[in-house]
Amino acid sequence: MVLRLSGSLLCRTLCYGSKSVLSSSLTTVIRGAEDRTVQRLLKGLRSGQRASLAESITLVETSHPKKKIQAKQLLTQVLHQAKRSQSVQGTKALKFRIGLSGPPGAGKSTFIENLGTFLTSKGLKVAVLAVDPSSVTTGGSLLGDKTRMPELSRDMNAYIRPSPARGHLGGVTRSTNEAIVLCEAANYDVIIVETIGVGQSEFSVADMVDLFALIIPPGGGDELQGLKRGIMEMSDLIIINKSDGDLVPAARRMQYEYISALKYIRPKTQHWSTPVKRISSLTGEGIPELWDLILKHRTVMEECREFESRRRLQQRAWLWTHLKDNLMSSFMAAPNMKNILKDMEEGVMKGTISPGDAADVLLQQHLQALHQAQQHKACDE
Ligand SMILES: Nc1nc2c(ncn2[C@@H]2O[C@H](COP(=O)(O)OP(=O)(O)OP(=O)(O)O)[C@@H](O)[C@H]2O)c(=O)[nH]1
């Protein structure tokens, strides 16, 4: 459903809710100060305990009202803590968020296993999170499965989190964003967010990382046509995997094709032109050089100050995701909304009311419901 929200209506919705929003966040702060679970999790996160990290992520994925309050409390504290270290250490305090997308079978898990173990051998802590749209429709998860990365999952300096099998894509990515922050609070240096390059998930992931990489296998040549232009536009790095044995010539061809295709694509930033690198996740060839390139991207982005500005824009995008989610939940929770919604949908399909008018009617109905609820609350008090 498309929610058409005119400026004045949005304004009224927000203004109307502001008092209760304010009081509920104050309640959150006051209650949270006493919350033992939050204190315990914070302590566990600070000492880098994987069990506390797993429990904290589960907490932010929950929709249980009491736990939601705890999750907000935890995130608030964690964000304050991160802000404090950033004010002391500057951007060096910011951990590295890497997004990885690629079609099924591209070798994502083999790549993460190889890069991950390479990084932990250098003394870095690595977390792997998955955004898996398939888990929403099938209830099962294809990504982030520990069995796909056997060595890394046994590594004490690595943490692998499978995709949450709930909610719509917005919900999944929202909790992923929060999971990133929690991994950082638990002192993970590199957070890899993995997604299948189908649907919309890669766009959401690109919006929450410092570097977005696309990984592809050498193929027959149709891949380039099939691959969405959008995903190339938002990539900071293109990795041609499986460049080993008999596949080397095909991988080379693929590399040239991508290099030429990128010439016709507007660069994401004027400070970086997207490199196309061949590697083998199976043999590990090219992985150390690829890591150097990833670090170079970070240095360049820090020097031109885009590293921080991207993060700031991502924070703003995150605010909008929350706002849209909260507005939709409040809209759907209003009394009788399901019936009116059904009537309006039928009307729109029959052509008796225009989609725009139907959206306005629904919003008016929602605002009235909010107003009535507020009046009842005032009477009760
Ligand atoms: N020759 C060769 N094979 C590879 C390489 N990387 C992965 N593979 C193989 O490609 C197949 C798919 O690899 P995965 O790592 O499971 O790929 P994935 O992208 O995680 O696949 P999904 O789980 O379907 O999303 C496996 O049989 C791997 O052994 C590589 O660098 N070279």
**CA-nearest residue, atom 9 of ligand 1:** 107
Question: In this predicted structure, what is the pLDDT of residue 224?
Answer: 56
- Decide: 280 in ligand 1 pocket, CB within 6 A: yes
Which of residues 69 and 33 earns the better pLDDT score? 69
**CA-nearest residue, atom 1 of ligand 1:** 242
Rg (CA), the chain: 23
CB atoms within 10 A of CB 301: 21
**CA-nearest residue, atom 15 of ligand 1:** 107
Which of residues 115 and 196 earns the better pLDDT score? 115
Q: Does the structure show a pLDDT above 80 at 134?
A: no
- Decide: 278 in ligand 1 pocket, CB within 6 A: no
Question: In this predicted structure, what is the pLDDT of residue 4?
Answer: 41
Question: In this predicted structure, what is the pLDDT of residue 240?
Answer: 96
Q: Does the structure show a pLDDT above 50 at 121?
A: yes
- Distance between Cα 33 and ligand 1 center (Å): 47
What are the pLDDT digits (tens) for 51-81?
999 999 999 888 777 888 888 899 999 998 8
Question: In this predicted structure, what is the pLDDT of residue 103?
Answer: 83
Whole-number Å distance between alpha carbons of 315 and 327: 18
180 touches 78 (CB < 8 A):
no
Whole-number Å distance between alpha carbons of 227 and 229: 6
The phi and psi torsions of 119 (rounded to 5 degrees) equal -70, -40
Question: In this predicted structure, what is the pLDDT of residue 197?
Answer: 62
Whole-number Å distance between alpha carbons of 221 and 11: 50
Q: Which residues pair with 97 in a beta bridge?
A: 191
Cβ contacts of 15-22, under 8 Å, gap ≥ 24? 16/367, 16/370, 16/371, 16/374, 17/330, 17/370, 20/374
- Decide: 248 in ligand 1 pocket, CB within 6 A: no
**CA-nearest residue, atom 2 of ligand 1:** 242
- Decide: 174 in ligand 1 pocket, CB within 6 A: no
- Decide: 163 in ligand 1 pocket, CB within 6 A: no
The rounded mean pLDDT for the chain is 82
Whole-number Å distance between alpha carbons of 186 and 194: 19
Mean pLDDT of 281-292: 96
Question: In this predicted structure, what is the pLDDT of residue 65?
Answer: 76
Question: In this predicted structure, what is the pLDDT of residue 227?
Answer: 64
Q: Would you say the C-alpha torsion 45, 50, 55, 59 has a positive or negative sign?
A: positive
- Distance between Cα 154 and ligand 1 center (Å): 20
Token pair 């696309």 is found at 214
- Decide: 282 in ligand 1 pocket, CB within 6 A: yes
Question: In this predicted structure, what is the pLDDT of residue 146?
Answer: 53
Whole-number Å distance between alpha carbons of 1 and 200: 16
**CA-nearest residue, atom 25 of ligand 1:** 104
* Conformation bin of residue 305: beta by default, left when phi > 0, alpha when psi is -120 to 50: left
What are the pLDDT digits (tens) for 338-349?
888 999 999 999
Confidence label for 24 from pLDDT (cuts 50, 70 and 90) = very low
Q: Residue 114: what residue type?
A: N
Which of residues 141 and 286 earns the better pLDDT score? 286
Q: Does the structure show a pLDDT above 80 at 2?
A: no
- Distance between Cα 178 and ligand 1 center (Å): 29
* Count of residues in the chain: 381
Question: In this predicted structure, what is the pLDDT of residue 339?
Answer: 86
Which of residues 221 and 325 earns the better pLDDT score? 325
241 touches 215 (CB < 8 A):
yes
What are the pLDDT digits (tens) for 148-159?
788 999 999 999
Which of residues 317 and 196 earns the better pLDDT score? 317
Which of 100, 110, 240, 283 for a ligand 1 pocket mutation test, highest count of atoms within 8 Å of Cβ?
110
